[in-house]
A and B are shown apart, each in its own frame.
Chain A
Amino acid sequence: MERIDKVQNLIPEKPEFVHSNQEKGEAIESLKIVNRPVVKKDAAALVTGKSVYTNDLAPSDCLIVKVIRSPYAHALIKDINTARAEAVPGIECVLTYKDCPDKRFTMAGQTYPEPSPYDRLILDQRVRFVGDAAAIVAGTSEEAVKKAMKLVKIQYEVLEPVLDFRTAKDNPILVHPEDNWRSLCPVGADNKRNLCAHDVCGDGDVEAVLAKCDHVIDRVYHTKANQQAMMETFRTYTYLDAYGRLNVVSSTQVPFHARRILAHALDIPKSKVRVIKPRIGGGFGAKQTVVSEVYPALVTWKTGKPAKIIYTREESLIASSPRHEMELHVRLGADKEGNIKAIDLYTLSNTGAFGEHGPTTVGLSGHKSIPLYGKTEAFRFTYDVVYTNVMSAGAYRGYGATQGQFAVESAVNELAEVLGMDPTVLREKNMVRQGDKMPAYYGEVTNSCTLDRCLARAKEMINWDEKYPYRDMGNGKVRSVGVAMSMQGSGISAVDTGAVEIKVNDDGFYSLIIGATDMGTGCDTILAQMAAECLECKPEEVVVFGVDTDISPYDCGSYASSTTYVTGQAVVKTCESLRKKICERGAEYLGCKPEDVDFDGEYVTELATGKQISRSQIGNNVMCFSNAPLSASEAFSSPVSPPPFMVGMAEVEIDKETGVLELIDYVAVVDCGTVINPNLARVQVEGGIAQGIGMALYEDVVYNEKGKNFSNSLMQYKIPTRLDVGTIRVEFESSYERQDRSERSLSEKS
């Protein structure tokens, strides 16, 4: 049990539980498997290109499913003639809005009742953006389906769209005028005002404090929509099993949410749906929305035949779930000495045609930016989330925090300029520190926070004092450094739930069954590492299975940086009860009392006599003349969401004549508690930073004046290559609460 305590102790359950660094260091030192770079369990299969992804596994007799997409940003379908298309040899069905249930649902992968409004149908008579689904065609071959798609005749009544999100609120043109639109949670939504969410919150009298400030920075920042651009596009295949149930194999981050959403979409009982997640080729939040699943699901449900959809890259870029475009108005007040007294933030967020993750992402733009400054006397955070006729936004790494931090951190840098103060010094003066209460972060207290050490270390790494503010390189180019801070959460407090089950098998190997979704991040491995640590065995003695909603215990899925923290806690709890059960069973076989034995991972030993029975023997005994299985299952949900922190610094070279900017060096120092697997954590942060670099420098979703998306290929939507990211260097300054944070925020653009 000692080992469990050690792992457990790294996760204080009570907020006041804080270890000294020395104690922490010792605790980590004695860990055998956790905090070690173990190779991912699926690595060998992945690097030799085995068939493990959705499209590799799909049966060859699947119907090919494709979606006919609207060429208009806003239109009503007056008539659809499918007769000629249906006559094409090989065509199984052409489905229109007339074939879909008229019950609205949301595709957002969130815990029920979802904060995202129920504003969708699988197919709707009203199309709301260029690329919105107008009809579904399924057939036995790609060629037949493509041919049939051209023969479906759709008559549209073209309507004026709302394309500028600044004019959407209370615009006479409504994106969702329908009466069966509904919002399940009190998020301030009103479809008759194009509002997906609205709120005002605050602490103290922000206007009064700002009025007294010597300096008020008043700026508006605009962040664009960005694509997750995971290498594997959205894809799903479906089939009916022997029981007539809808089986769905999908590249998803949220299998359990997908089950519920599909039941809602098809208006069938949840018991009729099973969702299986194979290996995923990246997600980054994109697959926290059920983007592709409904189309083959509807086809299979209607025809009884297996069906698959593989999104083209173009579809993945024009009809998906990108980051919310936001406009952020920051007012930041400080005294002459640079003490930041008040922050007032108004965020306008563009959710596009549908409300997926609209009401929730916007919250992070304030709740994860304002609390970075711990000494403010007042804050106010107001937001509107509006519907427009562009593609619906969704969840993307950072989940709104990115946008808010870009704005607030840019304003702080501008304040430093006004004060004539080094921006790192300004931050040292104002940053949130351990023990601070964060009124803008739901009143939580930072029980562990090494943001100060992160900043100090980052300055050393980039050699800030020598490079700030800039150096003239003499050839028309200057080099300069910039800084920004960031924070995230660890799961959604009091909502996210993760459960796991561990079974003891013959010869005593363990099966760890999880509902958390490894999307390349390595959570299967990390959770197995944690189990191996707690059960005192080798990681290879723990086999991992995930995810099948028929088998896996419930897990909300992999998002909100929750997996290692929330599901990890469930692993620890499960191991604890399993060890108890192993002791009981061992004692029973040894013929003594459970309290008289000890389990060291290999043997259950009667302490008084030294008599032993091995785990292997116990495992085998359980399978013969046994009336009880040997397994345990526990769940975990946290009332708090301890934030990880980061400081990022960038050195860039700017050609003053051409404006060309080259990223030279990016350093990041991260406080994410104890690192479970240093390699995987480092790669997570490096990958997040590269995406931030892309967002800051290269990536942009561009629409024309009619709402057509020009950024519809990787030829036009430019994610960074390895020549574009400079050098990214990451270190960890661990504080004590633990979570493996997978989210990283925007890199600073000097």
Chain B
Amino acid sequence: MEVQFTLNGKKVSTEIAADTVLLNLLRDLGCKSVKCGCETTNCGLCTVWIDGKSRLSCSVLAASIDGHEVTTLEGVEKEAAEFGSFLAQEGAEQCGFCSPPGFIMNVLAMFRELKNPSIEEIKEYLAGNLCRCTGYMGQLRAIQKYMEVRNTAVNITVKKMGGGEE
């Protein structure tokens, strides 16, 4: 059967089987950032966005995304690199197998939903993203520093805007 959907902003039309799993389709379409870590919905490595929401591509039938928008890390590379640089500063990307695909996608999704999440909110939002290298602390430091810098940048922008009005 054929599916048509938007992948990272581009229209895609491709032939699939009824039981093709989205994760496999995305990798076949060249989105190699998407990884499979567990097959049982527990690790979060396969996180992509469907219509802007974090989902586990290992458990989505490719057929069901007909007409929807799918975003992988390849589609938000600039943002990923920006947040990723904070991760790298902490040495918290480590092996990189969980962080770029699933973890960063869900971090970016979190910031779309929550403006200034608390530590507890961060931990809860990202609980479905397993990491075996870091013990999670370095990832948390990276998120906090990213938020600091981002908030400072926002404040500066706000001040500048305020200054303009005066």
The complex places the Cα of A715 from the Cα of B132 at a distance, in Å, of: 15
Q: Give the number of residues in B that approach A within 8 Å (Cβ atoms).
A: 54
Could you jot down 28 A-B contacts, CB within 8 Å? A37-B91, A40-B93, A46-B88, A47-B99, A48-B77, A49-B80, A230-B95, A231-B130, A232-B37, A232-B95, A232-B97, A233-B37, A280-B95, A281-B35, A281-B96, A313-B38, A313-B40, A520-B97, A521-B95, A679-B90, A683-B134, A690-B134, A719-B130, A721-B128, A722-B126, A723-B127, A725-B136, A728-B135
The complex places the Cα of A703 from the Cα of B15 at a distance, in Å, of: 43
Would B100 and A714 count as touching, CB distance under 8 A? no
Would A48 and B138 count as touching, CB distance under 8 A? no
Would A690 and B135 count as touching, CB distance under 8 A? yes
From 715 to 747 in chain A, residues with beta carbon under 8 angstroms from any chain B beta carbon are: 715, 719, 721-723, 725, 727-728
The complex places the Cα of A239 from the Cα of B152 at a distance, in Å, of: 52
- Contacts A686-B137, A688-B135, A722-B139 given; does A46 touch B96 at CB 8 Å: yes
Would B132 and A691 count as touching, CB distance under 8 A? yes
- 6 extra interface residue pairs, beta carbon distance < 8 Å, beyond A40-B91, A56-B32, A279-B95: A39-B88, A47-B84, A313-B40, A519-B95, A682-B91, A687-B132
Would A679 and B32 count as touching, CB distance under 8 A? no
| Secondary structure type dominating chain B contacts | loop
Interface check B61, CB cutoff 8 A: no
A689 CB contact (under 8 Å) in B33, B42, B45, B135: B135
Would A49 and B138 count as touching, CB distance under 8 A? no
Q: Mark B116-153, 1 if CB is under 8 A from A, else 0.
A: 00000001101111111111111110000000000000
B89 CB contact (under 8 Å) in A39, A282, A687, A688: A39
Would B80 and A725 count as touching, CB distance under 8 A? no
The complex places the Cα of A639 from the Cα of B96 at a distance, in Å, of: 35
The complex places the Cα of A48 from the Cα of B81 at a distance, in Å, of: 6
Would A48 and B73 count as touching, CB distance under 8 A? yes
Would A46 and B100 count as touching, CB distance under 8 A? yes
Would A723 and B135 count as touching, CB distance under 8 A? no
Q: Mark B80-111, 1 if CB is under 8 A from A, else 0.
A: 11011101111111111111110010000000
Would B84 and A690 count as touching, CB distance under 8 A? no
- Contacts A47-B104, A728-B137 given; does A282 touch B97 at CB 8 Å: yes
Interface check B7, CB cutoff 8 A: no
Q: Mark A689-711, 1 if CB is under 8 A from B, else 0.
A: 11100000000000000000000
Residues of chain A within 8 A (CB-CB) of B99 are 46-47
Q: Which residue of B lies closest to A690 (CB)?
A: B135
Interface check B74, CB cutoff 8 A: yes
- Contacts A49-B80, A284-B132, A725-B135 given; does A231 touch B85 at CB 8 Å: no
The complex places the Cα of A284 from the Cα of B132 at a distance, in Å, of: 9
Q: Which residue of A lies closest to B122 (CB)?
A: A722
Residues of chain A within 8 A (CB-CB) of B51 are none
The complex places the Cα of A312 from the Cα of B38 at a distance, in Å, of: 7
Q: Which residue of B lies closest to A230 (CB)?
A: B132
Q: Which residue of B lies closest to A681 (CB)?
A: B91
What is the interface of chain A, defined by CB distance below 8 A to chain B? 37, 39-40, 42-53, 56, 228-233, 279-282, 284, 312-314, 519-522, 677, 679-680, 682-683, 686-691, 713-715, 719, 721-723, 725, 727-728
Would B138 and A683 count as touching, CB distance under 8 A? yes
Would B133 and A520 count as touching, CB distance under 8 A? yes
Interface check B43, CB cutoff 8 A: yes
Interface check B2, CB cutoff 8 A: no
Interface check B39, CB cutoff 8 A: yes
In angstroms, how far is the closest chain A Cβ from the Cβ of B129?
Answer: 8
The complex places the Cα of A232 from the Cα of B134 at a distance, in Å, of: 14
Q: Which residue of A lies closest to B41 (CB)?
A: A715
Would B95 and A44 count as touching, CB distance under 8 A? no
- Contacts A37-B91, A519-B95, A682-B91 given; does A721 touch B43 at CB 8 Å: no
In angstroms, how far is the closest chain B Cβ from the Cβ of A518?
Answer: 9
Which 8 pairs across A and B sit closest by C-beta, in order of nearness?
Answer: A520-B95, A47-B84, A49-B33, A281-B97, A46-B96, A690-B135, A43-B88, A686-B135
Would A722 and B132 count as touching, CB distance under 8 A? no
Residues of chain A within 8 A (CB-CB) of B126 are 722
From 47 to 97 in chain B, residues with beta carbon under 8 angstroms from any chain A beta carbon are: 72-74, 77, 80-81, 83-85, 87-97
Residues of chain A within 8 A (CB-CB) of B130 are 231, 714, 719, 721
In angstroms, how far is the closest chain A Cβ from the Cβ of B11?
Answer: 22
The complex places the Cα of A522 from the Cα of B72 at a distance, in Å, of: 26
The complex places the Cα of A669 from the Cα of B153 at a distance, in Å, of: 36
In angstroms, how far is the closest chain A Cβ from the Cβ of B77?
Answer: 5
In angstroms, how far is the closest chain B Cβ from the Cβ of A58?
Answer: 11
In angstroms, how far is the closest chain A Cβ from the Cβ of B123?
Answer: 5
Residues of chain A within 8 A (CB-CB) of B74 are 49
In angstroms, how far is the closest chain A Cβ from the Cβ of B23?
Answer: 12
In angstroms, how far is the closest chain A Cβ from the Cβ of B153?
Answer: 20
Residues of chain B within 8 A (CB-CB) of A686 are 134-138
Would A313 and B39 count as touching, CB distance under 8 A? yes
Would A47 and B80 count as touching, CB distance under 8 A? yes
- Contacts A522-B91, A683-B94 given; does A713 touch B133 at CB 8 Å: no
